[in-house]
Amino acid sequence: MDAIGPAELIRLFEAWRDVFAEQREFLIALDGKVGDSDLGITMSKSFAAAYDVVAAEGPQAGLAKLLRSAGATMAKTAPSTMGTLAATGFLRGGKALEGADAIGTHEAAAFWRAFAQGIMERGKAKLGDKTILDVLDPIARAFEAQAEAGAPLGPALAAATTAAEQALEATKSMVAQHGKAAAFQEKSRGLQDAGATVGVLLIGTMRDVVQRGA
């Protein structure tokens, strides 16, 4: 698959729904170590609702509209911290792809940069604070480098996923600065960040969907 069109985007939301349903208990347990234990519930609920709305709208809605609808639905369905951040990411990503007919490497770079920027602004986080941003920024930078090199979407997704996995590993040495986890400070060191784990699941699933459709 060289690009993700509206029909493929709907399939991607279906895959995200399935992945977050499968990873629900894992994310609950991971979040429970230094958080509120609600991350798995938030992600499974929000992506189930997002898939329902984009499937109902159909491919004719177009990429930007589908992404905006998904974000708006997630904001209503799971108004927790991560639900709100993810919703903001999709709303910003949809705006960045206004007028695009398909997502290739350049469009993916624009989407993930807007996604990361939106979450940074909404969550008031910065790099190194041990949040999802510590994975999203490497994803965006990987896509930007791949776009500059003229790489097709498949290899670009592979590079972005590798960058995300390495960045997730790096969160283990960080100390949490936001949310309930911040109260644990040094106790959060040595643990991979739960929000950053969500970022890896997002990009890894995107890679897998494109590989299966190739």
Q: What is the pLDDT of residue 213?
A: 82
Q: What would the mean pLDDT of 77-86 be, rounded to a whole number? A: 88
Of the candidates 180, 160, 179, the residue with the CA atom closest to the CA atom of residue 168 = 160
Residue 38 has pLDDT above 60, yes or no: yes
Higher pLDDT, 160 or 31: 160
pTM here is: 0.91
- Give the mean pLDDT of the chain: 91
Q: What is the pLDDT of residue 54?
A: 98
Q: Where are the alpha helices (DSSP H) in 2-132?
A: 6-22, 24-32, 39-57, 63-77, 81-96, 105-123
Q: What is the pLDDT of residue 124?
A: 85
> Which of 35-49, 57-71, 73-87 has the highest mean predicted lDDT (pLDDT)?
57-71
Place of tokens 């790096």: 170
Q: What would the mean pLDDT of 1-30 be, rounded to a whole number? A: 96
Of the candidates 130, 205, 120, 192, the residue with the CA atom closest to the CA atom of residue 160 = 205
Query: How is domain 6-213 classified at the architecture level of CATH?
Result: Alpha Horseshoe (1.25)
Q: What would the mean pLDDT of 137-160 be, rounded to a whole number? A: 98
**pLDDT digit string (tens) for 172-206?**
877 665 554 444 555 555 578 889 999 999 999 99
Tell me if 161 sits within 8 A of 108, measured CB to CB.
Answer: no
What ranges do the domains of the chain cover?
A: 6-213
DSSP string covering 123-155: HT--TTSSSTHHHHHHHHHHHHHHHHTT--HHH
Of the candidates 78, 79, 75, 102, the residue with the CA atom closest to the CA atom of residue 90 = 75
Residue 37 in tokens: 């234990």
